């Protein structure tokens, strides 16, 4: 329309109402997505490594294979861990329904991209949407190509794959919330020695010193061993 052309077609345009959404990882994001999907008329299945209480009528399945084989749309919401690296690979694509769709807005290492490219080219996967990648450019204006990922050109040439530059949380509201969260984390560390949420230190949580402990102080000492092994020492004096 912006080019002045009227091209009204409905070929391969599907409703999501009545379809099944499979959520891998039922944490805060996965659970919220579950509620939104049900509101739009979708059936929701989810897989998680721990047993969780479902919201609405969502149903937890016992295995990843069970979720993949029943879902029309599959979305990943898991952290980056050794256990989640390439958790969606060739074997998992073979277990999916023919013509299913994959969404990954969690971590780039979760999906084996060459396996995804093959699944899309063969028609096993009808389409995909990716917001994260194993290796990402350092800044705006940098190239996303074979110099960064050997499959970069092949992925970019797939017409039925939506690619976005890791902007899933890049809203004005989200950026403000991140700023507040970082500030609060720094205050907790300075006041209490708590490192919950730290990316380069072990997570330690300690109680706050109370007003009836005027003669107590907490000394925090961060030091580094060889091989970049870091520890945090918390001493009560």
Give 23-67 as a 3 state SS string.
Answer: EECCCHHHHHHHHHHHHCCCEEEEECCCCCCCCCCCEECCCHHHH
Residue the block writes with tokens 């739009």: 40
CA separation, residue 45 to residues 21, 106, 168 (Å)? 6, 18, 22
Asked about 107 being catalytic, the answer comes back as yes
Structure tokens at 138: 């350092």
The helix, strand and coil proportions of the chain, stated in percent and rounded to the nearest 5, come to: 30, 20, 50
Asked about 166 being catalytic, the answer comes back as yes
Pick the catalytic residue: 38, 65, 118, 136?
136
Asked about 176 being catalytic, the answer comes back as no
Backbone angles phi, psi at 38, to 5 degrees: -65, -35
Cα end-to-end distance, the chain, whole Å: 71
Pick the catalytic residue: 118, 166, 188, 218?
166
Closest-CA residue to 93 (of 75, 62, 120): 120
Catalytic residue list: 107, 136, 166
């Amino acid at each position: 329309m912006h080019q002045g052309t009227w091209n009204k077609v409905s070929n391969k345009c599907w409703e999501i109402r009545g379809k099944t959404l499979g959520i891998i990882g039922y944490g805060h994001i996965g659970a919220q997505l579950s509620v939104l999907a049900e509101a739009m008329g979708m059936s929701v299945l989810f897989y998680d490594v721990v047993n969780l209480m479902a919201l609405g009528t969502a149903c937890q399945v016992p295995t990843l294979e069970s979720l993949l084989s029943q879902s029309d749309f599959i979305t990943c919401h898991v952290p980056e861990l050794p256990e989640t690296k390439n958790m969606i690979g060739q074997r998992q694509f073979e277990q999916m329904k023919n013509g299913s769709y994959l969404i990954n807005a969690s971590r780039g290492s979760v999906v084996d991209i060459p396996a995804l490219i093959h699944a899309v080219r063969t028609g096993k996967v009808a389409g995909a949407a990716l917001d994260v990648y194993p290796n990402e450019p350092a800044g705006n204006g940098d190239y996303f190509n074979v110099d960064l990922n050997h499959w970069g050109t092949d992925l970019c040439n797939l017409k039925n794959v939506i690619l976005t530059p890791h902007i899933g949380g890049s809203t004005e509201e989200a950026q403000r919330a991140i700023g507040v969260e970082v500030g609060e984390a720094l205050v907790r560390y300075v006041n209490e020695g708590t490192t919950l949420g730290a990316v380069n230190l072990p997570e330690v949580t300690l109680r706050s010193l109370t007003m009836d402990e005027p003669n107590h102080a907490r000394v925090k000492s961060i030091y580094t061993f060889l091989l970049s092994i870091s520890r945090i020492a918390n001493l009560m004096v």
